[in-house]
Structure 1
């Protein structure tokens, strides 16, 4: 029986992600629906990889294979661009003599986490010590990277309130570089110590870069999804977390225990709670029952939990590309406002939103 909480498109996509054997009984129209839903949330190549991992490629119709091959080609192209950008960064920053920690998608590639080779991403994220960030930025600017935020207010906003400087891009390439000094805006109530993240980062073979430790990699992804975004159509980010949890747990029976302790140490209990709860609920991520029980100590008050249970699946899951729901837009708007509130106290947030609204209105007026 179909789950009435989800649309037919959401159901067929979630079924594939939870139990890939479900694709063996899909009709032609369901395959079409699966493709459209996966494309909406940038998961087409991942779905293709996931089906291959379970030796189910023989069940894929020829026309669908063509779509999968095209998605793989796009991912491979972006992967080459990312590796080349990291190569150029390595060369440009060789004299800076500082640790550089690669984050998110590129980190998954460097750490050779299997799902990363089917992951579509748009930029290169790195983290450095705050004391070195000006020197690194100036070095890149001197070598033909350019800042992408030319507005004086945006420049000031990034440098004073954010956890990163304005994004950079080389004049001859299209891949953006985001340079962080921590993993969440310092104005947030969550304030993990970046020194601990840098201290425990892992050296990699054949590269000068580092990546976060397994626990920190999960926690950063959790923070990025549940505290630094509006969750709108972000199923791909939850899939990242699902794959990271599976990968790291497979190689370490004590991984989940260490993850809870690390979240406690860094003050990131709530993002981890949401990660475990919704990856288990939506993607059937295998999480031991005792870990789920222990994570309840990280839960929000009951009214907040009930509200999040109502909002997150609605906002997170993709809509059918030909349909638009008022309920989805409202859920995403509420979570968008929540993300701003979590990043910045009201005394800073209200003037910031007012200023941005005025700037947007002024731009519209100047065009019209």
Structure 2
């Protein structure tokens, strides 16, 4: 294959298309390949792209220097998959005597259920969920088994435990794996915490003794995690998760998804995800689903949709559109307003500003629990 160096920049749609139709990238010149590798590595999607291209039987047409990077990414993704499988067995043994279900979420759940979104999925932590009333005992049991709470200052610790849907992250003392222990899918401070018993009655399933969400449940949680959130750093990876989860699904998938909305709400987040997937990822939705979204009382303004469309796409200085930092920041501010009542948001923002300034002036550890208790 003859490849020429050119300064033509990739557009965000070029990168999206490379995940939807990997063969489209085979026409890129060497400069574009270089940019694509850097962008996809930044977005934690290089292994996924390569595996999708492998499924098409087209990796032999890759430039050798590109293939080398892709093979390295594939190896890393395989190692992370092995870690998830190993840690899930350890966690299952840790909680085997408990009378409640340990539920795996997000990337770990994709891997354990071997769903399409597990393809080349990389992640920085493992997410699990237990009933809220058991979270203190679960934290102690994890501590006995070598999991240590990562150091946070006293205010952040109270924030996690009073307002959030998870406790501070834990890390295994010898294996180094990071664990997020949840009791809900959304922060209780938002006033929209989900009744997990009813939700899991519809969305829960067991695979070889491991509890995960079914595919509509995985899609629901991924959409909520992306569009009811104040962190868009991995938004493009999450959008490709949603694409793989919904691609080629039968009509029953959407019926179950809409049943989850009846129990848990968050229609808007799913509708935004589905509209983006139709427009940008060429996903075919059942006609009744499209009509339901368009005729629903749930309002999605054109400005809001346009903002999220950019914030949930690839973002990098090598792209034609640049890093889109303004759109990312505005989307994250939107997420803060969704997650917190206004008066709590103001209080929280003032406290974070005050404590940041104090750390700059008096030292990084001025507010750590060990320092403040002496």
Tell me the TM-score normalised to structure 2 length.
Answer: 0.88
For 2:40 and 2:152, locate their aligned partners in 1 and report how far apart those are by CA, in whole Å: 35
For 2:113 and 2:18, locate their aligned partners in 1 and report how far apart those are by CA, in whole Å: 26
Does structure 2 conserve the Cα–Cα contact (< 8 Å) formed by 1:124 and 1:176? yes
Within a 5 Å distance, the mapping from 1:190-269 to structure 2 comes to 190-200=192-202, 201-205=204-208, 207=209, 209-232=210-233, 234-246=235-247, 249=249, 252-269=250-267
Partner SS for 1:118: coil
Does structure 2 conserve the Cα–Cα contact (< 8 Å) formed by 1:10 and 1:37? no
Shift of 1:259: 1.5
Does structure 1 conserve the Cα–Cα contact (< 8 Å) formed by 2:102 and 2:211? yes
* Equivalent residue, structure 2, for 1:354: 350
How has the CA–CA distance of structure 1 residues 17 and 117 changed in structure 2, closer, same or farther, with 3 Å as cutoff? Answer: closer
Does structure 2 conserve the Cα–Cα contact (< 8 Å) formed by 1:96 and 1:136? no
Does structure 1 conserve the Cα–Cα contact (< 8 Å) formed by 2:102 and 2:130? yes
Within a 5 Å distance, the mapping from 1:270-349 to structure 2 comes to 270-298=268-296, 300-301=298-299, 305-321=301-317, 328-349=324-345
For 2:325 and 2:36, locate their aligned partners in 1 and report how far apart those are by CA, in whole Å: 22
Partner SS for 1:140: helix
For 1:149 and 1:353, locate their aligned partners in 2 and report how far apart those are by CA, in whole Å: 21
Q: Judge which range, 322-331 or 309-318, deviates more.
A: 322-331
How has the CA–CA distance of structure 1 residues 27 and 299 changed in structure 2, closer, same or farther, with 3 Å as cutoff? Answer: farther
Q: Judge which range, 16-25 or 238-247, deviates more.
A: 16-25
* Equivalent residue, structure 2, for 1:48: 50
Does structure 2 conserve the Cα–Cα contact (< 8 Å) formed by 1:159 and 1:165? yes
Does structure 2 conserve the Cα–Cα contact (< 8 Å) formed by 1:226 and 1:271? yes
Shift of 1:314: 2.6
Does structure 2 conserve the Cα–Cα contact (< 8 Å) formed by 1:102 and 1:126? yes
The alignment yields a C-alpha RMSD, in angstroms, of: 2.2
Partner SS for 1:281: helix
For 1:144 and 1:58, locate their aligned partners in 2 and report how far apart those are by CA, in whole Å: 45
* Equivalent residue, structure 1, for 2:367: none
The answer to whether 1:38 aligns with 2:43 is no
Partner SS for 2:152: coil
For 1:300 and 1:29, locate their aligned partners in 2 and report how far apart those are by CA, in whole Å: 44
Shift of 1:233: 5.2
Shift of 1:20: 2.3
How many residues in Structure 1 have an aligned counterpart in Structure 2? 355
Does structure 2 conserve the Cα–Cα contact (< 8 Å) formed by 1:23 and 1:59? no
- CA deviations 1:254-310 (Å, max 9, x no partner) are 211332232233212111111101122222222223312212244654xx5211233
Does structure 1 conserve the Cα–Cα contact (< 8 Å) formed by 2:117 and 2:242? no
Does structure 1 conserve the Cα–Cα contact (< 8 Å) formed by 2:160 and 2:168? yes
For 2:11 and 2:320, locate their aligned partners in 1 and report how far apart those are by CA, in whole Å: 13
For 1:211 and 1:314, locate their aligned partners in 2 and report how far apart those are by CA, in whole Å: 30
Structure 2: segments with no counterpart, 5+ residues: 1-8, 365-374
Tell me the TM-score normalised to structure 1 length.
Answer: 0.90
Partner SS for 2:247: helix
For 1:326 and 1:21, locate their aligned partners in 2 and report how far apart those are by CA, in whole Å: 24
For 1:175 and 1:117, locate their aligned partners in 2 and report how far apart those are by CA, in whole Å: 21
How has the CA–CA distance of structure 1 residues 325 and 50 changed in structure 2, closer, same or farther, with 3 Å as cutoff? Answer: closer
- CA deviations 1:155-176 (Å, max 9, x no partner) are 1111111111111111112211
For 2:143 and 2:258, locate their aligned partners in 1 and report how far apart those are by CA, in whole Å: 40
Shift of 1:100: 0.7
Shift of 1:138: 0.9
Shift of 1:12: 2.4
Shift of 1:223: 0.3
Shift of 1:240: 0.3
For 1:191 and 1:96, locate their aligned partners in 2 and report how far apart those are by CA, in whole Å: 24
Within a 5 Å distance, the mapping from 1:13-92 to structure 2 comes to 13-92=15-94
Structure 1: segments with no counterpart, 5+ residues: 1-6
